Amino acid sequence: MASQYPPSLRICLPLFLLFLEVAFILLFSFLVSYDYDPQSIQKGVTVYPEFQDVNIMVVLGFAFLLASLKGFGFSSTGFCLLLAAFGIQWTVIVNGFLFHFSEGNIKMNLQRIVEGLVSLTTVLVSMGAILGKVNLMQLVWMALVEVTLFAVNRWVAVTVLQIESYTSLMHVHLFGALFGVMASWGISRSRQESRPEKEGSNPVSDTFAMLGTLFLWAFWPSFNAILITQRKAKLAAIYNTYLGMTASAVAAFAISVATSRHGKLTMAHIRNATLAGGVALGISASAIHYPWVAMAVGLAAGATSVLGFVFLKKNLEPAVRIHDTCGVLYTFGLPSLLGGIAHVIWIVIDSQENLSAGGYSALAEGGALCLSMAIGLAGGLITGFSLRLKLWKEPPVTQYFVDQTYWEFPHFAVGY
């Protein structure tokens, strides 16, 4: 079926994976020990149910959201699992080294795993932009670089700009989307054979993807609240996220029908734009005081997301020669930017009494947002270029979006 066979990864990939895994085990043996401080135990036991919500979101929700490509379901779900398994180990080391390193030791507890899972979201978001166009070695490489850069980005935001650690982690969507889009640009800049017939979805793959969406939609309040320890703020984040997502779901349905020539819904809009409310409220979920504000933000985010899919994906992408497989720029990038800007505006509004403090705070938050965007864009571009190195044995364009490139298919079925 293919005119050109992809290079075999039989030697390189196992060596690469096992080498890294052994290196991780050695790093853990020298650097990481468990933290059984009574307070950590208390926190760990308390946060465990929320941790499992977020764990399912990362391992299953994102994996199935990406499974909408009709002939690429094994890779979407399988690669996502590997990146999660791999990434979590590396994030514990990197985050531990930058934020929790004392006396030559990283104390590991459930909070560290949670921070790791949230950081990892950058990788799963970026993966959505380059899915189908890179092999597993390239994805693992991207994950290692991206997680590291995001941790460095956070370190600057937290130590230099004095942003709260929680807020800096909630830049994951914006960072991941921009990183992924630029990485995709870096990979594909010189070859523009589009293969739309392979890239599409079919009703079964769309239903699997809907399953991912529903998990993400239902558990998103946990995602936005899990890092908050103060109980009132945690509940505020839950309420606001929940209401924001209801409004973005309504916006997704309304705008999807309004922008369709036949007045019909488009599955890709529903699957993605319903989540925009949760994305937009990531940074400010705990800071909003009124339910209607959260709903208004969710409505705007859902509408922005669908409009992005309809107008930017068709017009902008060919113009600047970007190829964003799952449209992460519109699902995660734009809503997150919208939420970030709204967050800065609220800080200004909230600080009527103490304008100088509020002004500084708004500047810092805005600066952190710009920093995340800058590092995301630059890091994605450099990573994209680095992914074109010969050593990764990148797949030929004819092998894009096809599970058979990476998986044994005893059943010979093409796609579903």
Residues 3-62, interacting with a second copy (CB under 8 A): 8-11, 13-14, 17-18, 20-21, 24-26, 28-29, 32-34, 36, 41, 44-45, 48-50, 52-53, 55-56, 59-60
- Minimum distance from residue 309 beta carbon to a second copy (Å): 12
Return the residues of window 269-288 that contact a second copy according to CB under 8 A.
270, 274
- Minimum distance from residue 401 beta carbon to a second copy (Å): 14
Residue choice 167, 246, 286, 305 for contact with a second copy (CB under 8 A) = 246
Size of the site for a second copy (CB under 8 A): 115
Return the residues of window 331-370 that contact a second copy according to CB under 8 A.
none
- Minimum distance from residue 40 beta carbon to a second copy (Å): 8
DSSP secondary structure string for all residues of 93-136: HHHHHHHSEETTEEEE-HHHHHHHHHHHHHHHHHHHHHTTSS-H
Q: Does 239 bind a second copy (CB under 8 A)?
A: yes
Q: Does 382 bind a second copy (CB under 8 A)?
A: no
Find where tokens 């933290």 sit.
35
Return the residues of window 176-215 that contact a second copy according to CB under 8 A.
200-204, 206-208, 210-211, 213-215
CB within 8 Å of 194: residues ≥ 6 apart: 323
Q: Which is nearer to a second copy, 138 or 153 (CB)?
A: 138
Give the Cβ contact number of residue 2 at 10 Å: 12
Q: Which is nearer to a second copy, 365 or 403 (CB)?
A: 403
* Tokens, residue 230: 């103060």
Q: Does 235 bind a second copy (CB under 8 A)?
A: yes
- Reported for 19-25, long-range contacts at CB under 8 A and 24+ positions apart, including other chains, are 20/86, 20/140, 20/144, 21/89, 24/89, 24/90, 24/93
* Tokens, residue 73: 């379901």
Q: Does 390 bind a second copy (CB under 8 A)?
A: no
Residue choice 3, 290, 353, 356 for contact with a second copy (CB under 8 A) = 290
End-to-end CA distance of the chain: 16
- Minimum distance from residue 178 beta carbon to a second copy (Å): 27
Q: Does 161 bind a second copy (CB under 8 A)?
A: no
Find where tokens 């810092």 sit.
364
Find where tokens 């309304």 sit.
254
- Minimum distance from residue 88 beta carbon to a second copy (Å): 6
Q: Residue length, the chain?
A: 416
Return the residues of window 95-154 that contact a second copy according to CB under 8 A.
108-110, 113, 136
Separation in Å, CA 162 to CA 114, 153, 154, 159, 366: 22, 12, 10, 5, 12
C-alpha–C-alpha distance, residues 147 and 186, integer Å: 18
Q: Which is nearer to a second copy, 185 or 215 (CB)?
A: 215
Please choose, from the candidates 303, 229, 228, the residue with its C-alpha nearest in 3D space to the C-alpha of residue 272: 303
Q: Which is nearer to a second copy, 40 or 148 (CB)?
A: 40
- Minimum distance from residue 131 beta carbon to a second copy (Å): 16
* Tokens, residue 203: 């009703």
